[in-house]
Amino acid sequence: MSNGNSLVVVGAQWGDEGKGKVIDYLADKADLVARFQGGNNAGHTVVYGANIFKLHHVPSGILNEGTLCLLGNGMVVDPLVLVDELSELEKRGINTKGLRISSKAHLNMFYHRDLDEENEKLLGERKIGTTGRGIGPAYADKVMRRGIRAVDMVEFRTFRQRLEEILPLQNLILNKIYDHKGYDLEQLLDIYRPAVERLGPLVSDTSLILAESLQNGDKILFEGAQGALLDLDHGTYPYVTSSSTTAAAAASGNGIGPQHIDQVLGVIKAYTTRVGEGPFPTEDHSEAGAQLRERGNEFGTTTGRPRRCGWFDAVIARYAARINGLTGLAVTKLDVLSGMDTVKIGVSYDCEGSRAEIFPTSIEKLSKCSPVFETFPGWDEDISRARTIEDLPAAARHFLEVIEDRVGVRIELVSVGPDRSQTIIKDSSNLKRWHF
């Protein structure tokens, strides 16, 4: 049975919902934080006082001394990037000793990055708009049963042996399909050796660590990356990432049973953004969209790319609630809407003349849908110092009430700025075992 203390935090849009901030806030009280999918395509910016941390693999929980942080089996880990991330954290006085990597996590290698880039080039106008981090090819190799796993880093000779077996095929693909010269084994081994030796001791049976933690009644936080609409199965395929970003993957991506998931908090911005290609019904190409980008600083943490911006979309929020089993919402960046004359919520779609309340299953259909908006008066007040719902202007409170009503999920947390302190707990009934 569940210990009642586990919470999965997932993105409920196309990623970049501000999960890092929410997770950091909640991780403060967690005994263990585990990631379950993705890799360094994720980028969490965590602001803590005067410090800004940009994390890619490492869960935000690392900032809290004593919190155990796991990189689950569902992840693809780039050893070179992870080592840099750890060094950067250590340089800034963060203790990284609590990090463990699942022995079953797959490694995202140099050639995956090349394959990702080359594949995008080949797709031309039909490109996915990936982060270029090699995520798709790394997962493809896992599925093709020719990946290198974290367990292969425990001893350098095993790593050498695996690379010896795998590199000829990777080089062949690079040479023959992409006209890329490929890699020399010894050179690659030299590049990887320090990372493999640094990370090898962190490789563990993380499923067992979790099982023990569950048994102890620990507070466990599962940290999702990307968002519902980027899920490999349920997202806007093929404009998706290559992993399962929805809550159920917290179990399979960590080697625990689904009964151990107690609550699922969906993080959602008060507006919507997307990076990369693919349909985005509430996208705003006018001045309002540009304002959201500037005020919300909507530029990628990982790639620096400007994000496409638009209004809150209740259709995708309802869909995200369904496919994740959301038990609550965390609405972020409400402060970014301050100063807009009017604020809008897409409540349904007009799909070639017929009204759709339900998110279409194909992007062909989705791309023919335009949003039906409800428009509300905006507010001018700076809300970044609000600490309770009552501190918010009536128009902002009303906006939140409409979101709750149109999505059908309770808002538990509202974020009004990047700092931990800029957080309002709206409904503590579920979150109280976490923070109170």
Query: Which residues contribute to the site for ligand IMP (CB under 6 A)?
Result: 14-16, 41-43, 128-131, 133, 135-136, 225-226, 230, 239, 241-242, 275-276
Active site residue 44: yes
CB 299 within 8 A of CB 305: yes
Q: How far is the CB of 128 from ligand IMP (least distance, A)?
A: 5
Helix H or strand E segment including 33 = strand 32-35
User: Which of 24, 31, 44, 284 is flagged as catalytic?
Assistant: 44
Nearer to ligand IMP, 196 or 230 (CB): 230
State whether residue 348 is helix, strand or coil.
Answer: strand
67 or 242, CB closer to ligand IMP?
A: 242
Q: How far is the CB of 272 from ligand IMP (least distance, A)?
A: 12
CA 221/CA 267 separation, integer angstroms = 14
Residue number with CB closer to ligand IMP (167 or 275): 275
Residue nearest to ligand IMP (CB): 276
Smallest gap from Cβ 38 to ligand IMP, in A, equals 7
Rounded to an integer, what distance in angstroms lies between the CA atom of residue 430 and that of residue 435?
10
Least gap, CB of 11 to ligand IMP (angstroms)? 8
Task: Please report how close the Cβ of residue 301 comes to ligand IMP at its closest, in angstroms.
Answer: 8
Q: Which of 314, 215, 213, 320 has the alpha carbon at shortest distance from 265? A: 320
DSSP assignment of 200-241 equals GGGEE-HHHHHHHHHHTT--EEEE--S-GGG-TTTSSTTSS-
Residues 135 and 285: their CA atoms lie apart, in Å, by 29
| Three-state SS letters, 305-329 | CECEEEEEEHHHHHHHHHHHCCCEE
Q: How far is 348 from 370, CA to CA, in rounded Å?
A: 9
Q: Whose Cβ is closer to ligand IMP: residue 44's or residue 104's?
A: 44
Nearest to ligand IMP of 119, 207 (CB atom):
119
Q: Out of 16, 24, 114, 313, pick the active-site residue.
A: 16
Comparison of 241 and 423: residue with beta carbon closer to ligand IMP:
241
Residue 152 Cβ vs ligand IMP, minimum distance, rounded to whole Å: 23
Q: How far apart are CA 300 and CA 399, in angstroms?
A: 27
Instruction: Tell me if residue 57 is catalytic.
Output: no
Taking each helix axis from N to C end, the angle separating 156-178 and 110-123, rounded to the nearest 10 degrees, works out to 20
Question: What is the spatial distance between Cα 131 and Cα 389, in angstroms, rounded to a whole number?
Answer: 37
SS3 425: strand
**Distance, CA of 146 to CA of 244 (rounded, Å):** 20
Instruction: Give the neighbor-by-neighbor strand order of the sheet with 263-269.
Output: 203-204, 99-102, 68-71, 32-35, 220-223, 6-11, 263-269, 328-332, 411-415, 423-425
CB 200, min distance to ligand IMP, A: 26
Nearer to ligand IMP, 134 or 346 (CB): 134
* Cβ proximity of 274 and 19 under 8 Å: no
What is the set of active-site residues? 16, 44
